[in-house]
């Protein structure tokens, strides 16, 4: 890993009168190997090139000729700089870091910076940084301060960080950033805010896998998708940017918005939101509470298509009408929100508020008027008066205890059982 400073620099003399060898390389914005940066228009020195080189030569001769005293035109070290920092370099321009193959892993532009070779650390004020992966810029970063650590293996920036992915437009803001190129990992933490045309998010930390275009939000995550209008709250949320998916692998709550008003709520132990198809899949203790119709649906696996407004379950389901206090359970269901209709099948069992009940193989429940249509092995029971009807089909209103049970085509018989008090 190589780290290079470009621009003017100041060298301290070593003990015994031996001057430190000075080298200086200036940033060339026209070089074909160096991408253009927003600071490329700034001169690295107020002097033209021939004069600058002459000054360097004169400074070098002065250092080697004198064993004591301070060379002319060279600033003295700050009181905070220790004498042991013999490799301290102060510069304005760019600082590059490369991997073992010579490819850039980051470039920092700063008007003022310093690098200590002995400590293998550097600092830059108000830097602009370009982070590279596989020879390409993966993030462009600005901040108040940059700290370079671990001999170029890790870059740390602190203070009002803004990191932007030029490829997909993801913007991450926070107060601290770490770039670990060997791990393909970018970390932004401390009052994190994320922004994209599809999503905004706040969390304690974001970990970005640049090659995968994956962002892991963790710690008090609140994410808002713009279309559909959905807010998700969890402790860990995975954002697959390229696939346009959000994956919550921890307990998650979500609210649906229309005209800035919450219309529906949901929760589960895990969930996946496809931002492209606008389909929400909730698994493990899934629950959705709809405002209209006033229905609650619970199941272990649920798919909610926000475009068509259809909620589908393929595992045992419970549908509860909050206003009419009626519960229907089944093996699977499909709720059409716009049509106010629920279709249930497999071991259907409905119970009304006065303990009236209906069982069947299939049931269509019209939520607006509480009408039902049941097919297959129908059994209707009510408590007052106590009676039971059995047949192949049934229609009517369970809440009003007005049910017509019919026999099948083969037998045409309806079995009625009356239980006296």
- 22-59: pLDDT as tens digits: 233 323 333 333 334 433 433 333 333 332 323 333 33
Residue 60 has pLDDT above 90, yes or no: no
pLDDT of residue 148: 73
Residue 377 has pLDDT above 80, yes or no: yes
Give the mean model confidence (pLDDT) for residues 261-271. Answer: 93
Q: How far is 335 from 258, CA to CA, in rounded Å? A: 20
Q: How confident is the model at residue 370 (pLDDT cuts 50, 70, 90)?
A: confident
pLDDT of residue 413: 64
Least confident of 4-13, 86-95, 284-293, 370-379: 4-13
Least confident of 79-83, 184-188, 394-398: 79-83
pLDDT of residue 40: 40
Q: How confident is the model at residue 147 (pLDDT cuts 50, 70, 90)?
A: confident
Beta carbons of 69 and 76 less than 8 angstroms apart: no
Q: How far is 407 from 33, CA to CA, in rounded Å? A: 84
Q: What percent of the chain has pLDDT over 70?
A: 73
Homologous superfamily of domain range 288-421: Lipopolysaccharide (LPS) transport protein A like domain (2.60.450.10)
Give the mean model confidence (pLDDT) for residues 145-160. Answer: 78
Domain ranges of the chain: 288-421
For residue 222, give Cα distances in angstroms to 248, 251, 357. Answer: 12, 13, 42
Question: Does the pTM of the predicted model rise above 0.75?
Answer: no
pLDDT of residue 64: 31
What value does the mean pLDDT of the chain take? Answer: 78
Tokens of 161: 């960080």
Write the pLDDT tens digit of every residue in 339-368.
999 999 999 999 988 888 999 999 999 998
Pairing outcome for strands 387-397 and 154-164? unpaired
Q: Which of 57, 63, 65, 56 is nearest to 12 (CA)?
A: 63
Write the pLDDT tens digit of every residue in 86-124.
455 666 778 788 888 889 999 988 888 777 766 666 788
pLDDT of residue 246: 96
Q: Which of 371, 367, 331, 327 is nearest to 351 (CA)?
A: 327
Tokens of 314: 């393929």
pLDDT of residue 330: 97
Beta carbons of 89 and 25 less than 8 angstroms apart: no
Q: How confident is the model at residue 173 (pLDDT cuts 50, 70, 90)?
A: very high
Beta carbons of 168 and 151 less than 8 angstroms apart: no
pLDDT of residue 406: 87
Give the mean model confidence (pLDDT) for residues 382-399. Answer: 86
- Count CB-CB contacts under 10 A for residue 212: 12
Q: How confident is the model at residue 8 (pLDDT cuts 50, 70, 90)?
A: very low
pLDDT of residue 28: 35
Residue 151 has pLDDT above 80, yes or no: no
Beta carbons of 214 and 208 less than 8 angstroms apart: yes
- Count CB-CB contacts under 10 A for residue 95: 28
pLDDT of residue 388: 87
What would you report as the CA-atom Rg of the chain, rounded to the nearest whole angstrom? 35
Residue 323 has pLDDT above 50, yes or no: yes
Beta carbons of 173 and 192 less than 8 angstroms apart: yes
Residue 168 has pLDDT above 70, yes or no: yes
- For 57, the enclosing helix (H) or strand (E) is helix 49-65
Beta carbons of 63 and 13 less than 8 angstroms apart: yes
Tokens of 417: 């059982």
pLDDT of residue 58: 31
Q: What percent of the chain has pLDDT over 90?
A: 51
Q: How confident is the model at residue 68 (pLDDT cuts 50, 70, 90)?
A: very low
Give the mean model confidence (pLDDT) for residues 165-183. Answer: 94
Phi, psi of 49 (to 5 degrees): -60, -50
């Amino acid at each position: 890993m190589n780290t290079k400073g470009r621009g003017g620099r100041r060298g301290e003399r070593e003990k015994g009168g031996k001057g430190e060898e000075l080298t200086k390389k200036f940033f060339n914005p026209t070089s074909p190997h160096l991408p253009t940066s927003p600071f490329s228009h700034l001169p690295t020195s107020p002097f033209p090139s021939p004069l600058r080189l002459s000054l360097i030569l004169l400074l070098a001769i002065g250092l080697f000729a004198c064993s004591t005293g301070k060379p002319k035109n060279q600033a003295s070290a700050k009181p905070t700089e220790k004498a042991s920092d013999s490799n301290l370099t102060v510069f304005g321009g760019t600082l590059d870091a490369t991997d073992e193959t010579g490819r850039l892993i980051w470039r920092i532009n700063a008007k003022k910076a310093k690098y200590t070779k002995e400590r293998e650390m550097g600092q830059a004020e108000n830097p602009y940084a370009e982070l590279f992966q596989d020879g390409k810029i993966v993030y462009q970063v600005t901040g108040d301060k940059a700290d370079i650590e671990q001999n170029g293996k890790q870059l740390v920036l602190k203070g009002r960080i803004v990191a932007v992915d030029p490829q997909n437009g993801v913007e991450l803001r926070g107060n601290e950033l770490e770039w670990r190129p060997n791990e393909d990992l970018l970390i932004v933490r401390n009052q994190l805010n994320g922004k994209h045309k599809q999503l905004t998010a706040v969390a304690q930390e974001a970990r970005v896998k640049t090659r995968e275009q994956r962002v892991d939000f963790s710690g008090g995550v609140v994410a808002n998708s713009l279309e559909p209008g959905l807010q998700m709250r969890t402790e860990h949320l995975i954002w697959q940017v390229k696939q346009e998916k959000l994956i919550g692998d921890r307990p998650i709550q979500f609210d649906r918005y229309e005209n800035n008003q919450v219309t529906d709520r949901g929760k589960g132990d895990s969930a996946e939101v496809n931002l492209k198809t606008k389909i929400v899949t909730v698994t493990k203790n899934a629950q959705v509470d709809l405002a209209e119709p006033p229905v609650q649906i619970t199941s272990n696996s649920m798919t909610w298509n926000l475009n068509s407004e259809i909620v589908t379950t393929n595992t045992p389901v419970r549908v509860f009408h909050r206003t009419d206090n009626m519960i229907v359970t089944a093996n699977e269901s499909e709720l059409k929100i716009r049509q106010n209709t629920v279709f249930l099948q497999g071991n259907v069992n409905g119970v009304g508020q006065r303990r009236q009940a209906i069982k069947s193989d299939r049931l269509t429940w019209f939520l607006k008027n509480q009408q039902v249509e049941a097919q297959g092995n129908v059994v209707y029971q009510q408590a007052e008066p106590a009676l039971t009807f059995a047949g192949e089909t049934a229609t009517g209103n369970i809440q009003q205890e007005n049910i017509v049970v019919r026999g099948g085509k083969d037998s045409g018989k309806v079995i009625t059982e009356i239980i006296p008090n």
